[in-house]
Chain A
Amino acid sequence: MASLVSLHNVTKRYVRGKQTLEVLHQLDLEVPAGQFLALMGPSGSGKTTLLNLIGGLDRPTTGEVIVAGERIDQLSSGELAKWRARHVGFVFQFYNLMPMLSAERNIELPLLLTSLSSAQRKRNVAAALELVGLTSHARHKPAELSGGQQQRVAIARALIADPTLLVCDEPTGDLDRASASDILQLIQMLNRQQGKTVVMVTHDQKAADYASRILHVDKGQLVEAAEQGVASLA
């Protein structure tokens, strides 16, 4: 299967005062379209940095990052923003919802950057809310929702513009076990039934078990985990 994400010889260094910190070292990665990849590793191993490069939130110091056929490391800031809006959906550990906006208006946010009419936006938002099972909570603000419900709203927001790639940074890190299981099953369903390519960073082996492939990031390098059984939808 063709790669949706390709990283070639990617190095990422941060300069902090007089110190230079190399977080990723000459890293190569291929993620085929439709794959559910889990990135694991200890804190400071560089897994979130790698996720940020794949999601177009950051640029490598050297090397190439090609996602959906585009050299995103060469795009300008404005081009990268537009590229993210078209191709990537983001799910964060702490949901990152707008506290002043209702669930439906949070989900609608990415659609404001499209040319869709107000009526079309409303229809798409209603469909996304139904997909994540929150139709009855459309008017609720984030503070009126549980952690699991907030993460479902975040997932609906990530999906609303129909991206090819879902980038999830510890999506269950702030949830109890039952809610975490629900969220992981939802992400797995999106991967299997809607063909979304998923790259997920997690500390949790149980969460990683939902992925079809697990990679460990250690000292800026990638180590392929052994083939394993995949947790499946209930």
Chain B
Amino acid sequence: MKFFGLVWTGLWRKKARTIFTVLSIVIAFLLFGMLQGIDTSFKQLVDQGRLNVLITTNPAGLQLPLADLSRIQSVHGVTQVTYRSLFVGDYQSPRNIVVVLPVDADSFFAENSMFSVSPAERAAFLHTRTGVLVAQSLAQRLAWKVGDQIPIHGLLNAQKKDGTADWTFQIVGTYDIPGNPVRDQPLLLMNYPYFDTARASDRGTVQLFQETIADASQAAAMSNAIDNLFANSPAPTHTDTERATAQGQLAQIGDLDFFVEAIVGAAFATLLLLTGSTLMQAYRERIHEFAVMKTLGFTDAGVSGLVLSEAMLLNVGAAVVGLLLARALLRVLGSVTARVGAPGLHLPWIVFGVGVGIAVLLALASALPPAWRARRLSIIDALAVR
């Protein structure tokens, strides 16, 4: 600790150079934190996908007949089936986007036990035709409470028979999905029968079926069995596990891993060259000072340790600032994206730790050449040069 002042002073020998280097490191790790945070958030979303739950959709994105339900239920190994539709709307302003899921209440909660709803509110939902259950975070944000009548203006898949897209719901309760990345999505659960009888078109259809199977290892065979039922029908299906479906949706964005690794790799390679040349330049300017320190009794290892410590303080300090900024920005960005139905973004501490580890490696790699030279420095030769 008594050498900290010496290290700190050495770091600020050339203030402008140090500030620019610190900014470069902060920006590189901000970029790393943001990209890794987004990538990790999406991966966590995919990881939430269950392997014993299948999702059946139309490969062209069309609606599926609800009449398919009984045929799917009859497939051997399918233990439960539920279905749902989806429409997007807003509450009072386009800033308050909501996603409405018309569901069959009984089968939906039986298959999606992660939705935490009180028994009384669940019963109220079952018995209230226009009732909705809303995400707790959404209710807090829009100051909704149980009993409120809320108007939702439909934007997508929401046209009604009366020619409008204006839906009125009664809030009968709230739900939560503790620990789930979609916890803060602006989601409303409504009763499918109300949705189906009120909508203008596609009556008797659903967006997807969700099947729970007895044996996850049979997922591929079961998917084929379901799809074979409708192979030659006007509404063919595509069935996959919940996780594979989520993975497929993510893949539509592109190869996120590749983009993240390519951008972060390029940023760190540039950073390594920048800090390496900066530290080498700083070493050259201080050869005489290192020789004086050795003269005073600092050992070879002690002097090289000071060079390494400076690099470590510079890299790790700036990296921590960059990662903390990324964490704060992702928190803000996550609250914004969650409002429009995207998964909440965050920077997990494990990624933060990996970032700090990379900063340590970068510091070592960039400081080893000057530290090695400082160690080998001859006092006589260095003092002779002024």
Contacts and interface: CB of A to CB of B under 8 A. Distances in A.
B380 A58 contact: yes
A96 B288 CA distance: 8
A85 B9 contact: no
B386 A94 contact: yes
Interface stretch (A105-113, A125-133, A204-212): A105-113
Interface stretch (B64-72, B187-195, B289-297): B289-297
B297 A78 contact: no
B5 interface: yes
B273 interface: no
A112 B7 CA distance: 13
A112 B295 contact: no
Contact of B380 (A52, A92, A99, A112): A52
A84 interface: yes
Contact of B297 (A52, A82, A94): A82
Nearest to A116: B2
Contacts of A113: 296-298, 302
Given A100-B10, A105-B5, A112-B6, A57 B298 contact: no
Contacts of B2: 112, 118
A57 B298 CA distance: 12
A14 to B, nearest CB: 10
A230 interface: no
B110 to A, nearest CB: 68
B292 A81 contact: no
A77 interface: yes
B3 interface: yes
Contacts of B302: 81, 113
Chain A's interface: helix, strand, loop or mixed, by majority? helix
A85 B13 contact: no
Interface in B1-35: 2-3, 5-6, 9-10, 12-13
A101 B3 CA distance: 13
Interface in B358-386: 379-380, 383, 386
A57 B295 contact: yes
Contact of B289 (A55, A98, A118): A98
A193 B140 CA distance: 82
B297 A84 contact: yes
B184 interface: no
A90 B9 contact: no
A90 B383 CA distance: 12
B365 to A, nearest CB: 26
A19 to B, nearest CB: 17
Which of the four size classes fits the interface of chain A?
Answer: 20 to 34
B370 to A, nearest CB: 17
Contacts, number: 60
A85 B302 CA distance: 13
B299 interface: yes
A101 B289 CA distance: 11
B297 A85 contact: yes
Which of A82, A98, A105 has the most CB atoms of chain B within a 10 A radius of its CB? A98
Chain B's interface: helix, strand, loop or mixed, by majority? helix
A15 B231 CA distance: 89
A96 B297 contact: no
B300 A77 contact: yes
Nearest to B296: A110
B146 interface: no
B301 interface: yes
B300 A101 contact: no
A74 to B, nearest CB: 17
Given A77-B300, A100-B10, A101-B9, A84 B295 contact: yes
A78 B299 contact: yes
Interface string A48-60: 0000100101100
Interface in A64-107: 77-78, 81-82, 84-86, 90, 92, 94, 96, 98-101, 105
Contact of B293 (A82, A100, A105, A109): A109
A98 B291 CA distance: 11
Interface in B256-285: none
5 contacts: A81-B298, A84-B297, A85-B296, A86-B297, A109-B293
Q: Which 7 A-B pairs have the closest CB atoms?
A: A85-B297, A81-B299, A96-B292, A100-B9, A84-B297, A78-B299, A110-B296
Interface of A: 52, 55, 57-58, 77-78, 81-82, 84-86, 90, 92, 94, 96, 98-101, 105, 109-110, 112-113, 118, 157, 161
Given A81-B298, A94-B386, A118-B2, 20 more contacts: A52-B380, A57-B295, A58-B380, A78-B301, A81-B297, A81-B299, A81-B300, A85-B296, A85-B297, A90-B295, A90-B296, A96-B295, A99-B289, A100-B12, A100-B13, A101-B6, A109-B296, A110-B296, A113-B296, A161-B297
